[in-house]
Chain A
Amino acid sequence: MENQPVDHKKENRFELLKELLLTEDRKEFESLRNEFLKKEDFKNEVKPVLDDKIDDLKNNFPLYFGDQVTQSIKVQIRESQDEVVEALYPIMGKLIQKFIVAEITKLSDTINKTINDKFSLTHIVKRLFKGKKTDAEDVLQTVFASTIEEVFVIEENSGLLIGSYSRGNIADKDMISGMLTAIKSFAEDAFSKQGQDLEDIKFETFQLSMYNFKSIYIATATSGVITSEFKEELADNLNSLAEKILRDRSYLADEIRLNSLIEEILIKVPA
């Protein structure tokens, strides 16, 4: 077979044609390439700045937008109170129900235990010799035992605190004894006939009782069910305490000694 000679002229023409036809495409390609590279550069430039800004927003969002968000939530809640109540009601209801069930279970356990104890053989024997206390009183007292929470021994007129005992953590006992004396004076001045004293102030969960002696009065705060038996015992103990203090007046000038005496007589802590 004979080799065909290469037609260089023809080939050059084809190259020329290619050149002519693709010049526009090449230019477009070049421009797109440049644009892409520019975008990459821009991205590289901007990225760290944006990252910083995003971090700053993450960390300080409440500072920048807290007020606006709170305001808009407030408005939202105000405008859709009914929906909020509707949404929260079942949740709150369930929580309250759960709490009540837990408390009632605890209470019924305690009552069961107390009743079992009360009807034990030993207790039945004891009951034969018991005084005026009823079974209901007995159970109530065991379940909701009275506890002396606070004791204040206060100078009658000045309201100055002489001694005290506290189960909790009262901030300024002097101020409380002062205010207590003021309230006592006010109530006695406003409501009582001559010679009568304010004795009890009742709160929901505890009772404040004031026992008046010659130059001092003793205020006690008691929680739980206050039975007549407890009251009698407390009055007896308070009388003993006042007698000891007034017989030996050095207690009035020695707060630490007086505080131990209060614990020994009223709280029954061994001296």
Chain B
Amino acid sequence: MIAKKVLLVGNFGVGKTSLIRQFVLNEFSEDYISTIGVRVSTKIVNLNDEQIKLLIWDVAGTKDDEKVPKAYFLGASAAMYVFDLNREETYLNLKNQLETVKQLSGLKDVLVVGNKKDLLTPNEIEQVKQIIKIPVDLITSAKENQNVEDAFAILAKQSLK
């Protein structure tokens, strides 16, 4: 079985851990889950009749003041940048954040995911997309388990590139 390291990056409280929980354990905790540093979990996904073991590194952030060891980003085959659709500060600096992830990991593409769609109306989501300007690959809701599997399937596919 092929094993791949994939990254989940984004600010505190954007729902990265919840996305992983929904995907890996198929459950969601209502508690506010903030990640300290990094947490590794695994999940086997089937892609085109092939099994891939994803080693998911849930990384706390990318800013220098967050003191995240740069080594966390090394050797990754794909990365997902998660932001909170409901919190402006998590996507206002998205372009720079994506560049940092690309630089640290050496990856060309990073999957951009807007989480917590359950808190916004479709109109509000459109407005956020216009503010961001960068194409958003997927809009998810970890709480309502919407598009979570899809997000990780795309990530798995990217890891094989």
Contact = CB atoms under 8 A, between A and B. Distances in A.
Interface string A177-193: 01100100110111000
A268 to B, nearest CB: 28
Contacts of A172: 42
A178 to B, nearest CB: 3
Given A158-B75, A160-B3, A160-B5, A182 B70 contact: no
A157 B74 contact: yes
Contacts of A186: 37-38, 69
B154 interface: no
B68 to A, nearest CB: 9
Interface in B34-77: 37-42, 53, 55, 57, 67, 69-72, 74-77
A159 B4 CA distance: 10
Contact of A157 (B39, B41, B42, B75): B75
Which secondary structure dominates where chain A touches chain B?
Answer: helix
Nearest to A184: B71
A263 interface: no
B69 A185 contact: yes
A188 B67 CA distance: 13
B5 A182 contact: no
B72 A161 contact: no
B53 A174 contact: yes
Contacts of A159: 5, 40, 55, 57, 75
A259 to B, nearest CB: 15
Interface string B148-161: 00000000000000
Given A172-B42, A174-B42, A175-B41, A161 B3 contact: yes
Nearest to A185: B71
Contact of A158 (B5, B69, B70): B5
B86 to A, nearest CB: 29
Contact of B71 (A155, A160, A189): A189
A178 B69 contact: no
Interface string A156-168: 1111110000000
A214 to B, nearest CB: 14
Contacts of A158: 5, 55, 74-77
B72 A185 contact: yes
Nearest to B59: A182
Given A175-B40, A178-B40, A178-B57, A188 B5 contact: no
6 contacts: A156-B75, A161-B3, A174-B55, A175-B42, A182-B40, A185-B69
Interface of A: 155-161, 172, 174-175, 178-179, 182, 185-186, 188-190
Given A158-B76, A160-B3, A161-B3, 11 more contacts: A157-B71, A157-B75, A158-B77, A174-B42, A175-B40, A175-B42, A179-B39, A182-B72, A185-B72, A186-B37, A186-B38
